[in-house]
Structure 1
């Protein structure tokens, strides 16, 4: 196995163009597990840890550009105000050691249906920035996931950043697991309120072959929410919203949970996160998952 270690993004893109079989590695929290269990034996590894520009983030015109190499621990420490749901999701990832190494870019590259940050990217309407020697492009998050551990990257492309709107409204993330830490999600849910446009973003994780938007739930709640008065949302609306979120999923039975349990849990998480987010919109003290 060859080990390629570029010093710049340009060099990395050139190496990836020459060696499309090279597997990118940054935090290594997914790739190294696969290597250790002999689930993957690539011809080459492309080490991206020395590329400083991938580990930077910036804001411009109400948008956050999050470099693919920014670890979860920095998302938690530095972006809790701008991207609260992403910070919440990052807190649930693995252990402190994994959060110090793992990255949103790596989560995207793995494209696991259970990836904790995926529902947030979908709920916020994020875009994935990818690049090759041919240039760069942005892929809407809801077009990035093609199947179980399959994404929309071309063989010569690398993930360079994620573009997300800076928080303009309450956001929430919730996750069900068999314990509080070091656990793969049984299912997860992200919610974003966009009051200035009377819009909702809602997405499920670990409950379908890919992370998935709950579009009917989004449309229903956007129409039913009392945006102007900020009155409490009726329990009947919350229940219907939860039901529509559950209907958006197509889960399976596996060792972590049954399909029926996942749908039930998603409905409960949808109602709870909506309550927390709407309380924040009303000016009640903020609460989180």
Structure 2
């Protein structure tokens, strides 16, 4: 049996695991030998494997609850006189925005708990973080969000105000730091768009000739563009200078239009775009020390070389 938990801070099981690791003086990680060596080469040491999870019930998930509302006033009309359908986009406040918000809250909860574990272990950040979402067994309307990575700590005295998180593996993290950059935060951006299959879309998708389905092209374009906008907005809030994309996903499926009648059931198409990235920031570095000449010739060419070096030093 474990103690009660109100959802704030570390779960009791995680707190007990952190206490055990700190008391034992040993650490665990999912790093390979190469990753371990790469991290140490830039002055970091692993302090332990960390994780965070959250199980969320996603309500209003049925057809008639309106998350996938196309907002098309011409639904139910079958003639060519029906007006072109637009894209109901979550980023513009469409009903699907509510679903994006709850999924974003679940991811943030899992990431926050992993970061809290890192801080409890005395880590400065998490590398090689992997974020997963999966249905929760025996609960059809519940999803589990899980993120796991390795907490690391810098050898120097400077500590960040809050641990960083990133998807980069050990070698990628080492290359980033060696180039004068540091990870800031692991970000997930999502956009959902719904578009009614209007008369033109149905005609083009059932054509006997090769032709572009303009409505579906517009749907995919708008959703991908909105996901990028959301990602850049998050990066700006975290104070990053740039983004390193980790993964991008696109799902497309059909939903019965909630505005069509039973005698004239029509379809909507739903597109969901998800982007996973790490925002990074540049840190100040000392100027490189001047390179010294390894071999100095002693003949006449050496005199000319010494004069050129002296002139360069006076500039």
TM-score if structure 1 supplies the norm length?
0.26
Greater relative contact order: 1 or 2 (C-alpha under 8 angstroms, separation 6 or more)? 2
Bigger strand fraction: 2
